[in-house]
Amino acid sequence: MSGRGRRPTAAYIDRDGTLMRDTGYVARSAEVELLPRAADAVRLLNDEGVPVVIVTNQSGIGRGYFDESAFHAVQARLVQLLELEGARIEATYFCPHAPEDGCDCRKPGLALYRKAALELGLQSSGGLFAGDRVQDVLPALELGGTGILVAGTDGTYDGPVPARVIRATDLWTGVSGLLLGAGNSP
Ligand SMILES: [Mg+2]
Ligand SMILES: [Zn+2]
């Protein structure tokens, strides 16, 4: 479990339903909407010196719902909205495949995390893995890190929740609880 004030080596954060509202295969930059306090969570990680990396499954590309340029447009808008609130993303890694493609980069596969760690020079263990799906936190168990499962907008959690994974109503609550200790939210 988390210890108060323990600083992760990096934060690997899911995008849809964790940083921005998941309206289902978001493909237009005009649809991008930050979730409440998501930017605060990223900024806190920035302030603590924790590199923030987005790791996202984008099967909408593999399913033919939108192309990679649409993904990049949405991504650019998200990064812009975060930056307007003083929150910085180090890098983004995405899986463009459909589940039936059988790739090794689709979460909970580890390929994107390993690639990020290698390219960004991050320690592979001791990371923070946050998202609204179990697939987002499973890598924490495999790589030796901390998982934070955030609730959906309806307040329910994806499951089954693995032991040792922290549940939090949203990203801010989970990240601030981990870094600042519970009940210490500025
Ligand atoms: Mg998600
Ligand atoms: Zn993939």
Which residues face 92 on adjacent strands?
Answer: 54
Which residues face 20 on adjacent strands?
Answer: 16, 34
CA of 119 to the centre of ligand 1 (A): 23
pLDDT given for residue 157 in this prediction: 97
Q: Write the DSSP assignment of 62-101 as a string of letters.
A: HTTSS-HHHHHHHHHHHHHHHHHTT----EEEEE---GGG
Domains of the chain: 11-180 (3.40.50.1000)
pLDDT given for residue 153 in this prediction: 86
| Ligand with smallest separation from the Cα of 96 | 2
CA distance 86 to 97: 32
The answer, as to whether pTM is greater than 0.85, is: yes
pLDDT given for residue 5 in this prediction: 55
How sure is the predictor about 3, in pLDDT bands with cuts at 50, 70 and 90? very low
CA of 57 to the centre of ligand 1 (A): 8
Residue 65 clears pLDDT 90, i.e. is over it: yes
CA of 87 to the centre of ligand 1 (A): 19
| Ligand with smallest separation from the Cα of 59 | 2
**Cβ within 8 Å of residue 110, ≥6 positions away:** 104, 139, 142, 143
Q: Quick one: average pLDDT of 139-161?
A: 95
CA of 66 to the centre of ligand 2 (A): 16
Segments of the chain assigned E as strands:
11-13, 52-57, 91-95, 128-131, 146-150, 166-168
Catalytic amino acids? Answer: 14, 16
pLDDT given for residue 183 in this prediction: 53
78, two tokens: 């998200």
Residue 100 clears pLDDT 50, i.e. is over it: yes
| Ligand with smallest separation from the Cα of 149 | 1
pLDDT given for residue 182 in this prediction: 62
pLDDT given for residue 181 in this prediction: 86
| Contact present, 151 and 132 (Cβ < 8 Å) | yes
Higher pLDDT, 173 or 6: 173
Tens of pLDDT, residues 7-39: 899 999 999 999 999 999 999 999 999 999 999
For the purposes of burial, counting CB atoms within 10 Å of the CB of 29, is it exposed (0-12), middle (13-18) or buried (19 or more)? Answer: middle
